[in-house]
Structure 1
Amino acid sequence: MSRAQVLSHGTLHCFPAGLRDERDRLVNAEVSAVVYDGRRLILASDKPVPGHGRSPVFAVDIDERGIPDDSSLTYFTADAIVRATKYEDFALTADGQYILATTGFDRIDDASHDLNAYNHLLIWPLGEPQRVQVVDPDPRDGVEGSLELRAKLDAAIGTPYYKIEGLAAIPGEQGDGLLMFGVREQGNAHDDFEYVCRIVGAHYRITAEGNLVFLDELRSLYGFEPGVHPGVNHVCGLSSLEYDPYNHRLYLLTSFETEEEGMGRIGGYLWMISLDELAAGHEPDLVCDEQGETLVFEHKAEGLAVIDETRLFVAYDNDRHLGLGSIDERDERHACEAPFTLLAMRE
């Protein structure tokens, strides 16, 4: 049985309090992606953060406890990073030298390029976001987005509609590694889908120019049904993938948003599987708390980062829900704040 100890909870200021968009609506922090680059946490909101010098992607230092210092917040403002919309997950390449970022790929306009911003896989060298490149772009000059990759995802997933929410790179047998995309939703349309926990992917290598190329076709790699586990009481879908290079295993986050007795409920679960078990198609282990009960996050767990051999950083995307529950003595967060949890794995 895998167990996790909660080390701390908190909230992170992602932009100035009271920030409003061009329609004079209060901007809400919706952190859906996080990765630790060995020095800083890099996070992303799946909604734009307006204003000159701001971006939905930003970095913060952490102290020796793993707590983020929002006074160190730095936005990543390269054109390609600001232009991409609806970030859903980050990953380090298997060699730890590059950052990868994916959007949701959950919408496209076949008649125009108006929605291309939702279809991006980006890569940049560690510590050099200004050198960002788009992975697998449309071969036509001037067309932004990873549209060639979208066609490959279409073929691998096999449904008209899908949503990508996970990204991880693990060591592979060819080239630099195996890149995995986590699928959360799939079906006929954005209002006609099922929640799933599915992984598709392909082997890749990094070119001399610092971009990523696929070495084989994207294909189904793994899937599981959370609901068959007796500790899971909610319908949920995959919300993040994270490779743990210290222990050679993969973490999977699942989250849920349900209506119960007329009230909305959000939350999530944490799962773990070794790379050998993953390759063999075994079921992942559902992580428990220190008492051996299922660890159930009271917020919608959407981002996961491995800090070191034992510690994990969990970021929450609660959408417009402002309640803080037990993670803070305040009743509500400010719209500019993102809640988080630090965990330590105990085996």
Structure 2
Amino acid sequence: MANARIVQQGTIHCFPAGLKDEQGRIVNAEVSAVAYDGERLLLASDKPIPGERRSAVFALPLTPEGPDDTQLTYFTQPLIKQATKYEDFALTADGRHVLATTGFDRIDDESHALNDYNHLLIWPLGEPDRVQVVDPDPRDGVEGSLELRNKLNAALGFPYYKIEGLAAIPGERGDGLLLFGVREQGRAHDDFDYVSRVVGAHYEISESGNLVFIDKMREHYAFDPSEHPAVRYDCGLSSLEYDPYHARLYLLNSYEVEEDGEEHIGGYLWEISLEDFRAGRRPTLVTTPAGTELEFEHKAEGLAVLDHDRLFVAYDNDRHLGLGSIDERDERHACEAPYTILEITVP
């Protein structure tokens, strides 16, 4: 059973303090996606970060002292700025390309006004200027990964869903198996259930550097976190992450519930070997070194493997400003995103 201990915590300044949107409202950092390329952390907010020279996607070096937000750079390529509500990043199974997905949680088939919420993007590692849309609509002038949305519709079987996880693992064919983690599914955005469900399809990287699906999108995995006695609240999947060092998959859950007039946020981390994943076995809840369940005090939304032994967890607490044990301060600034670095041990 894997256990984890906190080795570092803090906050990242994602944009200037006091930044306001076009309506004059203070912008809030809501980091929902993270990846690591061996030198830099790549992060994304699921809300836009206004400014011509800013975007919801940005990178910063990871030093021994932690993330260095004094060297933060925004990805301002038009396609990257256009896509809205980023939910997860992944590296391709060979580690040579970055993938970024939005939530796919809304669409307007008549006007295409909501197509920006339906994007899967790919670019070579370190070369965001070469970004492309994966599985685009074949019609000229229609933006978004709408062919991919059709595949997700068929695989999921619900009129409403939200994608929050993305991971590429070695597959049985092509260049790998791309997995999408589903957090919500139901009849509508106000009539859904939280789920932990994974669908996917095998893919190849084309000569032009785009990702092409080569078989049918289908369900590959699902589990119910509430079946574990340590899980206190109704959870949904919030991130997927492939660990190439140990041939395993991490599944991140988070919750946000109101009980007796009090808001509760938090999350749990699970791990499973690729062998057990393919066999449909239950994942294992990651614990503390003392053997008790590891329960995050913040809404864990982004997860990245840093090296053989460490994980980076990013939190999206929405407008909840409390810092808890992360800092001596009671509250963060709206421009700050809290994070935790974990050291993982597998007996």
TM over 0.5: yes
Unaligned runs of 5+ in 2: none
Tell me how far apart the structure 1 counterparts of residues 208 and 64 of structure 2 sit (CA, whole Å).
35
Give the match's secondary structure for 2:35: strand
Offset at residue 111 of structure 1 (A):
1.2
Aligned pair count reads 346
Which residue number corresponds to residue 178 of structure 2? 179
Which residue number corresponds to residue 296 of structure 1? 295
The one-letter code sitting in structure 1 at the alignment partner of 2:277 is: L
Tell me how far apart the structure 1 counterparts of residues 110 and 139 of structure 2 sit (CA, whole Å).
16
Tell me how far apart the structure 2 counterparts of residues 310 and 273 of structure 1 sit (CA, whole Å).
16
Tell me how far apart the structure 1 counterparts of residues 192 and 114 of structure 2 sit (CA, whole Å).
20
Equivalences for 1:161-310 in 2 at 5 Å?
161-310=160-309
Offset at residue 261 of structure 1 (A):
1.6
Tell me how far apart the structure 2 counterparts of residues 136 and 146 of structure 1 sit (CA, whole Å).
5
Which residue number corresponds to residue 5 of structure 1? 5
Which residue number corresponds to residue 334 of structure 1? 333
Q: Does 1:137 align with 2:119?
A: no
Which residue number corresponds to residue 154 of structure 1? 153
Tell me how far apart the structure 1 counterparts of residues 89 and 294 of structure 2 sit (CA, whole Å).
23
TM-score when scaled to structure 1?
A: 0.99
Which residue number corresponds to residue 101 of structure 1? 100
Offset at residue 260 of structure 1 (A):
1.6
Offset at residue 64 of structure 1 (A):
2.5
Offset at residue 335 of structure 1 (A):
0.3
Tell me how far apart the structure 1 counterparts of residues 335 and 64 of structure 2 sit (CA, whole Å).
25
Tell me how far apart the structure 2 counterparts of residues 74 and 123 of structure 1 sit (CA, whole Å).
19
Give the match's secondary structure for 1:7: strand
Offset at residue 136 of structure 1 (A):
0.3
Offset at residue 195 of structure 1 (A):
0.2
Q: Does 1:87 align with 2:81?
A: no
Offset at residue 291 of structure 1 (A):
1.1
Unaligned runs of 5+ in 1: none
Offset at residue 142 of structure 1 (A):
1.4
Which residue number corresponds to residue 60 of structure 1? 60
Deviations 1:57-102 (CA, angstroms, capped at 9, x unpaired): 000101135x100011000010000000000000000000000000
Offset at residue 39 of structure 1 (A):
1.3
Tell me how far apart the structure 1 counterparts of residues 31 and 43 of structure 2 sit (CA, whole Å).
7
TM-score when scaled to structure 2?
A: 0.99
Tell me how far apart the structure 1 counterparts of residues 67 and 154 of structure 2 sit (CA, whole Å).
40
The one-letter code sitting in structure 2 at the alignment partner of 1:28 is: N
Which residue number corresponds to residue 68 of structure 2? 69
Tell me how far apart the structure 1 counterparts of residues 222 and 4 of structure 2 sit (CA, whole Å).
23
Give the match's secondary structure for 2:275: helix
Give the match's secondary structure for 1:71: helix
Q: Does 1:27 align with 2:27?
A: yes
Which residue number corresponds to residue 315 of structure 1? 314
The one-letter code sitting in structure 1 at the alignment partner of 2:189 is: H
Deviations 1:181-221 (CA, angstroms, capped at 9, x unpaired): 00000000000000000000000000000000000010000
Tell me how far apart the structure 2 counterparts of residues 248 and 72 of structure 1 sit (CA, whole Å).
32
Deviations 1:304-342 (CA, angstroms, capped at 9, x unpaired): 000000100000000000010111100000000000000
The one-letter code sitting in structure 1 at the alignment partner of 2:162 is: K
Tell me how far apart the structure 2 counterparts of residues 273 and 210 of structure 1 sit (CA, whole Å).
30
Q: What is the aligned-residue RMSD (CA, Å)? A: 0.6
The one-letter code sitting in structure 1 at the alignment partner of 2:333 is: H
The 10-residue stretch of structure 1 (259-268 or 183-192) with the greater mean CA deviation from structure 2:
259-268
